[in-house]
Amino acid sequence: MSSADVTSERLLSLALSRPAEALREADQILAGRPEPLAASIARHARAIVLRDGGRSAAAITELRRALRDAQASGGAGRIADVQATLGLTLGFAGRTRPGLAMLDEAVAGGRGVPGGRILMRRASLLRVLGRYDEALEDLRRAIALLRRGGDRLWEARSRMHRFLVLCQIGQTARADRDLIEAERIFNELGQEMESANVLHNRAELAYLAGDLAGALGFLDAAADRFARYGVHYYSFELAVDRCSVLLAAGLFTEAVTVAEETIRDHAARGGDATKAADLLFAAGQAAYAAGRPALAAERAAAARDLFRRQGRDRWHARASFVVLQSRWAQGHREGRLVSRAGELADRLDQMDALEAPAAHLLAGRLAAERGSAGDADRHLARAAHFRNRGPSFGHAVGWLAHALRAKGRGDNRAMLAACRFGLRAAENHRRTLVAPELQAHATVHGIELVELAQHEAVARGDARMLLRWSERWRAGGLAIAAVHPPDDPELAAEMAALRAVARRLAEARATGAPAKQADSERRALEGAIRARTRRVSGTHPQTDRTRTDTAVDPLSTLGEHTLVTLTFLDGTLYATTVVGGRARTHVVGPLATAVREVELARFALRRLARGRPPMGAGPALEAAGAALEGALLGPAAKLLGGGPAVVVPPAILHSVPWGMLPALRDTPFVVAPSLATWLRAGSTEHTGRRRVVLVRGPELDGTGLEIKHIARTYPQATVLEDGSATAEAVLSALDGAWTAHIAAHGVFRGDNPLFSSLALDDGPLTVYDLGRLRRAPARLVLSSCESGVAAPVSTDELLGMVSALIPLGTRSLLASVVPVNDAVTSSLMAEFHERLQAGRGFGAALRDVRRAAAGSGDVIALATAWSFVSLGR
């Protein structure tokens, strides 16, 4: 190709739309010893591809050569164009002062359309530096020049840059108009990669609107496009934005993982310094939120130092705040920290930074601790100003500050009102999230608001008030009706592929064969499934609109039932009881003691599940039950016995073998995540035919006999076993059933509870699968290992089989909290179903099974009966 065939327009445009093709053509030109003008254009194009591929140093070297060639060609416009790209690349590499100086020189030499292009690039660096007013002025001039000159492509690029600046200053409506116009032009001109960048920018709009699921979906779609084009430059920006969304959703640990992995990738690829600083800052924010203040301080301090060298004052202040937060979390309270918190809060507020409300909140708390009431009130007032401003996920911060301010003034009435409004804001935000894990994690400030009110209730000695506030947040977690994922053949294919991989993994582990490849495929499929389900956004069409901030009156709803609600504050466990219409709160003792006794009891049951009871196992089990009761109920245990009971524990205590407690052994009791859930289950009516479904998974001792015995109780039951118990067949049978019994091994996934599963003939049936049911069975028995264990992802939130099924219509659920003896379970389950058919409820039927096991003198049977809990109604 001769130099005469080379045009700046074509090759430089190609570098941004199809970089691999541009690189090949540029290399061909340079291999032919071209004239200076052609060489300058080719090197310019190569530099853009290198820069966008993360190789900033190589790009700068290439641009300096391109500049020398441009100067040799004598073209003033060509010189200014290369200067502009070199200045921008220097700026992105962290050398912001010389980069801006070169851009200023290029602007001075640019006129017309070339001048508009140079102004756009200077605006890009000014945006990175946080000089938004100057950037907007450059972009205003650039768009006018480019539109007048008919340069639609660069006009679209300028609008994209203006979109980013407008988002930063909160003018999202104007930003959206620019993005729409830019996308239209890019699509018309066939700029594929820049169209992909529009998807990335749509994530920013969704994030600012509080649509976190939508933001994650756009980020995933943009990442797919960039990967298709082999472009890594934008992957670092995607990672930073993904961290912001994950943090807003409360997925802190995942945000840390994303940030740390991207930092390592960036270092390996030799990416530019501005991206390095952004990634370190994102990692610091994520580590702080994840409760790792030492790592947060390290990452944020490194980012702060880079920001200072780059002249990025806004980001320097933001990173300094993360360092300060982390030091506070590590227990530092020196005077300099307090004064610095106030200075930073005011500075971030002046900058309209997203951290401003959190900074004022922290400054107010520190000032209050030091006895500076005036400073505390000023900062808390500023933080409270944001309770109705900005993205919805931040409103609860403002209400928390408002509540703390009222508490500081001694106005407890106003404090409780702020807690109510703040909790409502947190719940409204959670209702915008469809993926269960996003819902469950969106709780941080709601928890603290509830705890403020709970402390007030304890101080007053008001048992009813403590009960109402304990119930409010728990009820909110499961008050949101399930949203069924849309019919998605790709999701169904991924779930089927995951089951196939799980079978391969199981076979490899059984034979000792290498499983690395299959395990890698499993992780990739799980990541794809999580990403796909998170992309669903919007509100819940079947949301239970019962207000969770309306006080639940247990005196009018419990009937003959006794209620026991457990709450912990500052490490102390409290039991609130309602017996015979009277509510009382009892101080039980340290939460740590209760957790330890639960683990000891579970250990004892697990050991007996193996079928070889040691000498003295019976008395030892009795002693463990008594110790467990003292640690969990304390003096409240004396109020139980005989009549039906409802136990509502916090999430950290949901895997308790409650049947071991002496006070509950002769009581038909159930366990519920919240009182509202129990009441809702009681009002649920099963319409239609009373179908019964019996399922037996593979590799279980004794369950063949178990299913046969149960089938005698239900002669018309649908039985799936011996190869017919596949995931799709089981889901189809379960949908809308009256009673279902699944005898299958259960696997609880602490790393990702939504992949907790039951083993079927074609692989695992996961919680994600159960979410596809239109209506779950009204009554469900899971006679498998640890099927009732749920993950405490926050104080009162649950993920696992229980939380997946209750919103889908399951009224009663029987499940185990420890591994059980399959052979003994077989006979116990047959007895349980006989009592159900005789008209017993789940709680009463399980009580009868426990009594029979105790009367048999078989310690293994007794341990197995105690391993099951009745949940729901």
Please tell me the predicted confidence (pLDDT) of residue 549: 42
Q: Is the pLDDT of residue 733 over 60?
A: yes
Share of the chain above pLDDT 70, in %: 88
For 764, the 3-state DSSP assignment is strand
In degrees, to the nearest 5, what angle opens at C-alpha 710 toward C-alphas 706 and 716? 135
Q: Is the pLDDT of residue 134 over 90?
A: yes
Binning pLDDT at 50, 70 and 90, where does residue 787 land? low
Q: β-strands 779-782, 692-696: how paired?
A: unpaired
Please tell me the predicted confidence (pLDDT) of residue 658: 95
In degrees, to the nearest 5, what angle opens at C-alpha 485 toward C-alphas 483 and 490? 170
The mean pLDDT value of the chain amounts to 84
Q: Is the pLDDT of residue 749 over 80?
A: no
Give the residue with greater pLDDT, 485 vs 115. Answer: 115
Tens digit of each residue's pLDDT (9 = 90 or more) over 652-698: 888 899 999 999 988 999 998 888 888 877 776 766 678 999 999 88
Tens digit of each residue's pLDDT (9 = 90 or more) over 374-425: 899 999 999 999 888 777 767 888 999 999 999 988 999 999 999 999 988 8
Separation CA 466–CA 790 (nearest Å) = 25
Q: Is the pLDDT of residue 545 over 60?
A: no
Binning pLDDT at 50, 70 and 90, where does residue 803 land? low
Tens digit of each residue's pLDDT (9 = 90 or more) over 438-472: 665 556 677 889 999 999 999 999 999 999 898 88
Which of 621-634 are b and which e, b meaning 16 or more Cβ less than 10 Å from the residue's Cβ?
A: beebbbbbbbbbbb
Q: Is the pLDDT of residue 2 over 50?
A: no
Give the residue with greater pLDDT, 379 vs 744. Answer: 379
- Its pTM stands at 0.74
Tokens of 162: 């203006």
Residue 537 has what DSSP assignment?
B
Please tell me the predicted confidence (pLDDT) of residue 448: 87
Please tell me the predicted confidence (pLDDT) of residue 333: 80
Q: How far from 116 is each of 140, 144, 429, CA to CA, in Å?
A: 9, 8, 42
Tokens of 137: 């002025």
Q: How many helices (H) and strands (E) does the chain have?
A: 38, 16
Tens digit of each residue's pLDDT (9 = 90 or more) over 841-863: 999 999 999 999 999 888 999 99
Separation CA 553–CA 542 (nearest Å) = 25
Binning pLDDT at 50, 70 and 90, where does residue 771 land? confident
For 809, the 3-state DSSP assignment is coil
Cβ–Cβ under 8 Å, residues 26 and 3:
no
Nearest CA-CA partner of 234 in 94, 63, 88, 51: 51
